[in-house]
Amino acid sequence: MAPRSATINVMARAAEKAGRLLIRDFGEVEQLQVSRKGPADFVSTADTKAERALRAELSKARPDYGFLMEESGSSDGRDRGNRWIVDPLDGTTNFLHGLPHWAISIGLEREGEIVAGVVYEPVRDELFWAEKGQGCFLNAQRLRVSERRRLDDAVVATGMPFKGRGNHPAFMSQLSTVMAEVAGIRRFGAASLDLAYVAAGRYDGFWETGLSPWDVAAGIILVTEAGGFVTEINGGRNPLSGPDILAANSHLHRPLSKLLTANSDKKPVPPTVAG
C-alpha cells in the first residue's frame, strides 16, 4: 500500500468525524427533524450538521482553501487554486428512510483538476481514497476496476430521475436498451458510492444524468486511479460539471457510451392539460 499523504489524512479524518455524527443520527432516524427542499429532495438536520463538521475540520487543516458544498454553496479561499468539493451526505433519501447505503464525499480540486478524493461509507466503515498518481484504495487494499470484457457479463449501476427532475423518456430509453445487453442493472441511490464500487470492481460501469460536482468529484479520481475511464456519456471530457457521467473499465466504456448516446435524445412528454 502506498503511504497516505498528509492531504489524504486530512480528508479521511474529516470524513470519519462527520461519519460518527451521522451514524448517531442514523440510529435515531425516525426522530430527525426534516424539511422539504423540493420534490423528493430532502435535507435533514444531520446533513447540515455533518457539513459544518466537515468545513471546520478541513478549514483547520487548510485554512486558505475554498469550498464547494452541497448545502452552503461556493465560497472562495485566499488560495484560489485549491478548493474542497464536498457532499456531507450522499444518499440523503436512503438515510432518511433507514436504508444503510449512504456516504460522505470529499474531492480536492486543484487548478480545475481533481487531484484527491475520499468516499467514506460509515455503516460498513469503508474508506475509499485516491490521489493523483498514487492509485486507489479501500482502507489498506489496492483497488482495480473489473476486467470484464463482455456486456452480457457486466453489472452496471445507474441513477434514476425522480419526480420533477430529469428527462424521464430519455432515461427509460437508455434503461431498456442497456438492460437488454447486460447481466444486471442496479440502482442504490448514492452516486459517490456507485463510482467507488466501479473503482473496486463491484460494478462494471455506472451512468447517470443531472448530477452536481459534489456528487462525483471524489468518485472521478477513484475510478481513474483504479484504471477506469470517466467521461460524459457521449465521450466528452467534462464529467465534473457536464450534463451526465459514464464510468467503466477500458473494455466496456465505449460500448456503453455507444448504447447510451443512441438513446439520449428522447424528449420529455408535456403534461396533459385538462379540457
Give the tens place of pLDDT for each residue, 79-110: 999 999 999 999 998 998 889 999 999 999 99
Domains 6-142 and 151-261 share a fold: no
Pairing of strands 34-38, 41-44: antiparallel
The band of 41, judged by pLDDT with boundaries at 50, 70 and 90, is low
| Rounded-to-integer distance, Cα 135 and Cα 213, Å | 21
Determine the pLDDT at residue 253: 98
Determine the pLDDT at residue 22: 95
The band of 1, judged by pLDDT with boundaries at 50, 70 and 90, is low
Q: Kindly report the CA angle at 111 between 19 and 222, in degrees rounded to 5?
A: 45
Residue 229 scores a pLDDT above 70: yes
Q: Which CATH architecture has domain 6-142?
A: 2-Layer Sandwich (3.30)
Q: How far apart are the first and last CA of the chain?
A: 67
Residue 222 φ then ψ, to 5°: -60, -50
- The radius of gyration computed from the CA coordinates of the chain, to the nearest angstrom, equals 18
| pTM, full prediction | 0.91
Q: Is 19 exposed, middle or buried, given 0-12, 13-18 or 19+ CB atoms closer than 10 A? A: buried
Q: Which CATH architecture has domain 151-261?
A: 3-Layer(aba) Sandwich (3.40)
Determine the pLDDT at residue 264: 65
More confident residue, 250 or 269: 250
Assess contact for 126 and 113: CB atoms under 8 A.
no
| Rounded-to-integer distance, Cα 220 and Cα 255, Å | 20
Domain locations in the chain? 6-142, 151-261
Query: Residues 51-65: what's their mean pLDDT?
Result: 97
DSSP 39-74: TTEEEEHHHHHHHHHHHHHHHHH-TTEEEEETTTEE
* Residue-averaged pLDDT of the chain: 90
The band of 270, judged by pLDDT with boundaries at 50, 70 and 90, is very low
The band of 274, judged by pLDDT with boundaries at 50, 70 and 90, is very low
Question: Cell numbers at residue 243, please?
Answer: 450534463
Determine the pLDDT at residue 33: 65
